[in-house]
Copies of this chain bind each other. A is one copy, B any other.
Amino acid sequence: MDTMDINASLNGGESSSYPEDLCPPDNFNMVSTWIYRSSFPKKKNFSFLKKLGLKSILTLILEDYPDQNMKFLKENKITLFQFGIAGNKEPFVQIPDDKICAALAVLLDRRNHPILIHCNKGKHRTGCLIGCLRKLQQWSHTSIFDEYRRFSHPKSRSMDQQFIELFDGREAWKVIDSKWIPDWKTLGHHAGV
C-alpha cells in the first residue's frame, strides 16, 4: 500500500467527494494487454498514469514534448518513443508507412510494455496506428473501422480508414523482432513463430 492509498483509506473510500479520484486522459482505453491509448496526457492525468506502471510512451506528435511531461517521464523512468507524423488531412498529407511500421515494432516489443500511445486528441493518428495493429491481430476491416470511429467520433476521417485498409502488414513484420512479440493468440503466425 503506497502513500496515496493510505491517504485514500483515511479519507473514507470511494465517496463522490473523494479527493483522490483518478483522471485518465481523454479518450483513454486499454488496447490490448500492456498497451493503452489516449489523448495528450496533462498534469491532472499523471497520478492515474503512474498507477499503470508505464515503461514507455509512444507519441505521434510532431512537436517537442513539454517540460512538465518530460519531468513526469524522468521521475517515473519512462522511455519516450517519438514518431512525429502530421494529421492525415485531405488532400495533401499522407501518413508515412515507414513510421507506422517503426511504431508497430516498438509496440510489439514486450520489453517496452506497459506502453501508452498518444497523439493530441487520441483520435486520428493514434486511431490509424491502432488500426494497423489490429490488422496484425487479424481483425476484420469492419471491426477495425468500428473501433476507429468509436474513438474519432464525431470527426472520423475516411482518409484514415483508407490508410488502414491499404496498409500492408507484411511491411511491418519486416521490422518487428518476433523474438520479443507479446504472447497474444492472434499474432504468432504472421511472424512465422
Contacts and interface: CB of A to CB of B under 8 A. Distances in A.
Interface of A: 1, 5-6, 8-9, 13-14, 16, 18, 20-24, 26-33, 51-53, 135-143, 146-147, 150-151, 153, 165, 169-170, 185-186, 188-190, 192
A39 to B, nearest CB: 11
How many chain copies does the complex carry?
A: 2
Contact of A143 (B13, B28, B140): B28
Contacts of A52: 185
Nearest to A28: B143
Contacts of A1: 188-189
A123 to B, nearest CB: 11
Contact of A135 (B6, B14, B142, B153): B14
A160 B192 CA distance: 46
B22 A139 contact: yes
Given A13-B190, A189-B6, A139 B24 contact: yes
- Interface residue SS majority, chain A: mixed
A106 to B, nearest CB: 19
A170 to B, nearest CB: 6
Contacts of A147: 29
A51 B186 contact: yes
B53 A185 contact: yes
A160 B22 CA distance: 21
B28 A29 contact: no
A130 B111 CA distance: 30
A143 B38 CA distance: 12
Contacts of A27: 146
